[in-house]
Structure 1
Amino acid sequence: MSRLTELLPVFIHIPSRPFRMGTPVSDISDLARHYGGTRESYREETPQHELTLPAFAIAQHPLSNALYACAVADGAVPPPPAWHGTTPPDKLAALPVTDITWYEAMAFCAWLSQQSGLSLRLIDPNGQPVTPPPVLRFRLPTEAEWEHAARGTDGRRFPWGETFHPDYANTREGGRSAPNPPGTYPAGQSPYGVEDMAGNVWEWTASLDREYPYRPDDGREDPTATGRRILRGGCYANPQGYARCACRFRLQPTMRNQFLGMRLALDLE
């Protein structure tokens, strides 16, 4: 088994089915009272709308420093400044890679897609094995795919349900103050079994910052377009309001800091 294959996360098959994306306009006053800010600060999440996306696969956990280091060693991406060198410290190997730009996340996906001899474990939401596609095309998830994988079909507020639990996610309330390794919060997994989609590290998506309703054909998924890109999930330094499945954040694709990471998606067609 190759080193790359050993380091690849498990991928979960997300079926093509209708799901609810975004926040109902009727909820934004309650969000402002509960989490702070104004009604208008939640307007970007509205209106809630129903989408049906093609099936895809998403990594069960964020991308690790150890896997990212393979691309660094091959010259495909630069080392994150947080490493303070060309390899991650041993204590960071299993933790999510951070301090990377959107462009570097995209370059990693392109590099990984070019590697030969890879095999991966793909499962359905019930944990049963699924045959991977013959050609492995890795990429960032769109923000719609990310939200579907995080909240399932019923529009729930957090991956596990409507009520926040500080021991289900790595947010400010838990006091960890650093990224967590895979498997730390199994109770916080999404309806599809995807973990760490609330808190831990912000995750770059492929999508440009555009208004709702989400439309995949309106240019927001153009990888060559300029503009801010959407991040999802919140991080360990943020309070629980940022860990909501519908919460949107955006930054210029050149930005990097210790809170920004990534999660792989995989085409199934």
Structure 2
Amino acid sequence: MPAPRRFASALAAVCTAGVALAGCGSTSDDDARASQGPGTFTVCTNSPYAPFEFERDGETVGFDMSLGQEIARDMGRTMRVVRADFHTLESGAALDEGRCDAAISGITITPARRRAVDFSEPYFNDQIALLTTKDSGITGFAAVGTRTVGVQRATSGAQYASDRKLTVREYEDADLMFRALGSGKVKAVSGNISTLSRQAREHPDFRLVQTVDTNENLGVAVKKGNTEILDAVNRTLERITRDGTADSLKAEWMGV
């Protein structure tokens, strides 16, 4: 996933927590540190990673951002989004350095990551999928052979392809990875079904050839020991599951 992008303070947008499905502007790390306080819920994310987080009309939107808005609203705070390198999210560095209260960025819950951060209850179950072009002749992971598979660095899709000893080419963000598939630099892409299915719908030349249920669960990450934020996140997850908001968000951003 991409390195941090820094924006001038004048371009930073603050999202009100009362607008549950609205987008949220991104800030620089310095702005985020200055903005944190009792009235702000600062979220670190790594964009683009549609449909979880991506840019639209100058704002960071997506399933994760709407989830963040729900959490902020329940806390009585406003949400501010900070773009960060994915490595700093899964390692807990961004949280430990105080850049944000929580990381919401399609982060898979793994034992290794649990040692670095505290995770919320799972909010989404994803699957690994293989995306290729209609004329590639690839029918699944077992049929890739020596051809190169594009992966997003430090993701479960990358790990799955590497575990199967496939030849991989890493990309810092999903857009670069999909462009490589379209231009023929790679012959297939390994990633999560939630992201790859969107590409299959939007690009007639792409097709999904295999999905693998790995029981992969996504969670909101917080700094180790930050029970105040963790409890607030889990209360919101329980509430949106109970009142149907979670289903509405999935329908809006993923069509499921």
Per the normalisation by structure 1, the TM-score is 0.27
Larger fraction in strand: 2
Larger fraction in helix: 2
Per the normalisation by structure 2, the TM-score is 0.28
